[in-house]
Structure 1
Amino acid sequence: MTTHQVVSVFLDLALIILLARTFGALARRWGQPAVIGEVLAGILAGPTLLGEDLSLFLFPMEARPFLTALANIGIAVFMLLVGLEMDENLLRGRGRIAVSVAVTAIVLPLSLGVCLGFFLARNHASGNTLGFVLFIGAAMSVTAFPVLARILTDRGLARTSLGNIALTCAAIDDVLAWSLLAVVAVVASATASSLWLLLLFPVYVAVMAGVVRPVLRRVFPPGSQLDTRRLGMLLGGALVSGAITEWLGMHFIFGVFIFGVMVPRAGTGALRQAMRERAGEFNGVFLMPIFFVVAGLKVQLSGIGWMGVAELGLVLLVAVGGKFGGAFLAARLNRMQTRQSLALATLMNTRGLTELIILTAGLQLGILDSSLYSIMVVMAVITTVMAGPLLTLIRPMQGMPDEEGDRAGEDRRAAAAPGGAA
């Protein structure tokens, strides 16, 4: 790096931290997740509002590759933490409600998204129609597990039946969405020159499950604590795994995520909690804001025209209608109360950070062009912003949590059932 590049990068990093903290605080003040403010900071600092010249003055082109590299590291650490959070106990024992809601909330928006993808492909041809339409379907199906968990905590719903079901549904959706995106990445990257590399992906998964996982069980035995050595092994191993999947023609997020999933769960709760606190705090304060601003800088809305506005309307209609409608329908079919079903559907419609990572991957893989990427980012922001106000309308704060009503309803249904109490 030259002296000029060092100065540009350092000043940009300082500006990003300032923008992220300021807009994140404003977002929280208005009852929104900080991620919304940080993404808006990037959009406002981009060409949409400031124009190309001023945006390039604030964030020079020679500095952006270094910012992108730091943003990718932030995504890698975040995906490692997501993998560590994938607790199999959360995915079990929640009954048919969570499973049916999660599956329906994936299948319906996925189906509608695929149909929308064929329509959008006419104006946003990516050279691989199958990969494009599958990606649009996957993007419509996403639920942001971390943002949803934060909303539940902020509203005192984390320990309610609604919160437990929502977290379980989001966890299942996360696994299904990342698996679907992996398929999309394979399809989009399946060229003649890279096909032989993609064929190695099942071998990679088998090695991770059959070799790496047993090794990790010995490195992280029950009761182990997070020291410098183990922290280095977690970060280093995750980066190596991410590099392998990137080399295989997929995206590094899959390798990092899979490595996190392979870390043993039994007796490692304290270690994973310490990892969230030590790596997560630095990542949240420094690296992830870089990703949000870099993602926002790529948004250009000033030139999308009326066709772009119409496409945004269709994207919002499919995204909200598919996700909200699928979750609400499944919840009602499982005899959840109407307000509870509406609240669960609202929570499942939250996309936030997970959607941004998927959209960034789509842009890097060449599936999305810049205009459709911009439209999809706006959709991610709007669907996340919707959650707080809708929850307030559906379930006023003084009515939360509604556990007594839930239990009373369950008791009434049990008494009315054949063989129930008189």
Structure 2
Amino acid sequence: MHMGTTELFLIAMTAIVGIPYLVWRLGDTDYWAPLVVVQTVTGIVLGPGILGKAFPEYYSFVFTPAVIHCLNGLAWWAVMLFVMLAGIELDLKKAWAHRRESSITAGLALGTPLVLGCVAAGCLLAFDGWAGTQAAGWQFVTGVGMACAVTALPVLIMLMEKLEILRQPLGQRVLRYASLDDLLVWGVLALILLEWERVGRQAGFIVLFVPVTMLFRRLMERLAERDRWFVALIWLCLCSFAADWAGLHFMVGAYLAGAVMDAEWFGEEKLDKMRQVLLLTLMPVYFLSTGLRTNWAVGGYAVFVAAGVLLLASTAGKLAGAHAAGKLLGWSRTESSVIGWLLQTKGLVMIIFANILLDKGIISSETFTALLLMAVGSTMLTVPAVYPKLRAAVQLILKPA
């Protein structure tokens, strides 16, 4: 049977949207596997590593080069919007108001898993097939280490909404810590991506970004809210283009585009709705696009072992960092544990981070697959680990910030 690109695209979209929803709803997986996790796993299953090997004829029939090209375009736009929203959610004003507590917690919660992740990456570097073709040793080690230190701010927000602590003092504190970590992660990523061949362009981008941002902020403050959304999208495209042209990657530009905007310009409720609509309509395409890049060529067992080691480094590092901060700041062990488990949530930001490293040839497809599995495992652990602790010690933990 011959089908055109449009028909095949719609078949692919039906699977992308329908399969994860049915698994999530019929399997009632929300407690241990939120929809975002089910969508990510579905993307992996529909990728070449599983569906492509089990049913190569069906895979090649649906996911033709033309269909993949269309899906990639949608995925790029989806992730640009998503990363921009993550940047908008960064609230440095609150972090500054509680700078001692925020800096100690964010620093330890980032630094400890970073060190453990770098150690794990150093071990992987001793074997062939894990480092990317364009990577210097320090880039691979630092990139994988930072992937272990990432906290997925947008997914963390959704999980805390489910736990009913997002608007509580504890939830706001965790957002401050995660926001600072998020900023540091993107800053380090920009350093990893520096290319001496394009250092002039990159320096020019950084120098021009500051005055242009000041003009942009003045414009946004004078606009009505309905106009701000359109101008924000134009700003997103321009920043993403400029960052990609400079060699930093378009997602770095997308994050910077959002980071210099104030959430108050749009309204908290509308931002939440936009994020939910984006996760419902476009992000599933990005998950499939991510799944299409998975690779098990080093050997399936080796990829799973690597994922387990990276998950251990990430989770143990976050918990150790949170407990160390708790000792300095006088928290209870339960409070430290809850904060540590929340901050170890990986989700989409880590997947985006790993995609950038793969695009730039810093990690191989096998390392990307291991990091993707680590992100899935990390996110699945969050609610089962945190919910019982919250039920046991609600009054102890939910104290004013």
TM-score between the two structures when normalised by the length of structure 1: 0.85
Alignment of 1:103-118 (within 5 A): 103-118=107-122
Instruction: Tell me the amino acid that sits aligned with residue 357 of structure 2.
Output: G
Instruction: Tell me the amino acid that sits aligned with residue 270 of structure 2.
Output: A
1:324 maps to 2:325: no
| 1:27 positional shift | 6.2
Which residue matches 1:206? 207
Which residue matches 1:268? 265
SS in 1 for 2:150: coil
Q: Is the 8 A contact 1:156 1:400 kept in 2?
A: no
Instruction: Tell me the amino acid that sits aligned with residue 7 of structure 1.
Output: E
Q: Is the 8 A contact 1:359 1:376 kept in 2?
A: yes
Q: Is the 8 A contact 2:338 2:386 kept in 1?
A: yes
**Cα-to-partner distance string for 1:182-240 (whole Å, 9 max, x where unaligned):** 11111xxx25xxx2x3333233233222133223322433xx5432x433221122111
Which residue matches 2:285? 290
1:233 maps to 2:231: yes
| 1:108 positional shift | 1.4
SS in 2 for 1:101: helix
Alignment of 1:46-195 (within 5 A): 46-52=47-53, 53=56, 54-122=58-126, 123=128, 124-126=130-132, 127=134, 128-186=136-194, 190=195, 195=197
1:339 maps to 2:347: no
User: 248, 254, 275: which is aligned to 1:250?
Assistant: 248
Which residue matches 2:30? 29
Alpha-carbon distance in structure 1 between the residues aligned to 2:207 and 2:262: 16
Change (3 A) 1:178 1:169: same
Change (3 A) 1:264 1:137: same
Alpha-carbon distance in structure 2 between the residues aligned to 1:260 and 1:311: 33
Q: Is the 8 A contact 1:351 1:380 kept in 2?
A: yes
| 1:97 positional shift | 2.6
Q: Is the 8 A contact 1:143 1:170 kept in 2?
A: yes
The share of aligned pairs that are identical, in percent, is 23
Q: More deviation in 114-123 or 344-353?
A: 114-123
| 1:403 positional shift | 5.2
Alpha-carbon distance in structure 1 between the residues aligned to 2:68 and 2:170: 42
Change (3 A) 1:335 1:276: closer
Which residue matches 2:218? 217
Q: Is the 8 A contact 1:217 1:264 kept in 2?
A: no
Q: More deviation in 341-350 or 161-170?
A: 161-170
| 1:135 positional shift | 0.5
| 1:17 positional shift | 1.7
Change (3 A) 1:168 1:314: same
Change (3 A) 1:296 1:305: closer
Which residue matches 1:366? 361
Q: Is the 8 A contact 2:92 2:180 kept in 1?
A: no
Instruction: Tell me the amino acid that sits aligned with residue 60 of structure 2.
Output: L
Q: Is the 8 A contact 1:27 1:37 kept in 2?
A: no
Change (3 A) 1:15 1:309: closer
Alpha-carbon distance in structure 2 between the residues aligned to 1:244 and 1:258: 11
Larger Rg: 1
Q: Is the 8 A contact 2:297 2:366 kept in 1?
A: no
Which residue matches 1:17? 17
Instruction: Tell me the amino acid that sits aligned with residue 225 of structure 2.
Output: L
Change (3 A) 1:391 1:92: same
- Could you say what the CA RMSD is over the residues aligned between the two structures, in angstroms? 2.5
Instruction: Tell me the amino acid that sits aligned with residue 394 of structure 2.
Output: M
Instruction: Tell me the amino acid that sits aligned with residue 108 of structure 2.
Output: T
Alpha-carbon distance in structure 2 between the residues aligned to 1:306 and 1:13: 31
Change (3 A) 1:240 1:215: closer
Q: Is the 8 A contact 1:42 1:296 kept in 2?
A: yes
Alpha-carbon distance in structure 1 between the residues aligned to 2:325 and 2:228: 42
Change (3 A) 1:231 1:363: same
| 1:77 positional shift | 0.6
Corresponding pairs, count: 392
- Which structure is higher in RCO with an 8 Å CA cutoff and minimum separation 6? 2
Q: More deviation in 357-366 or 18-27?
A: 18-27
| 1:3 positional shift | 7.8
| 1:21 positional shift | 2.7
Change (3 A) 1:18 1:106: same
| 1:309 positional shift | 3.6
Alpha-carbon distance in structure 1 between the residues aligned to 2:379 and 2:352: 14
| 1:169 positional shift | 0.5
Alpha-carbon distance in structure 1 between the residues aligned to 2:10 and 2:221: 37
| 1:247 positional shift | 1.1
Q: Is the 8 A contact 2:315 2:341 kept in 1?
A: no
Unaligned runs of 5+ in 1: 411-422
TM-score between the two structures when normalised by the length of structure 2: 0.89
* Shift >6 Å, 4+ stretches: none
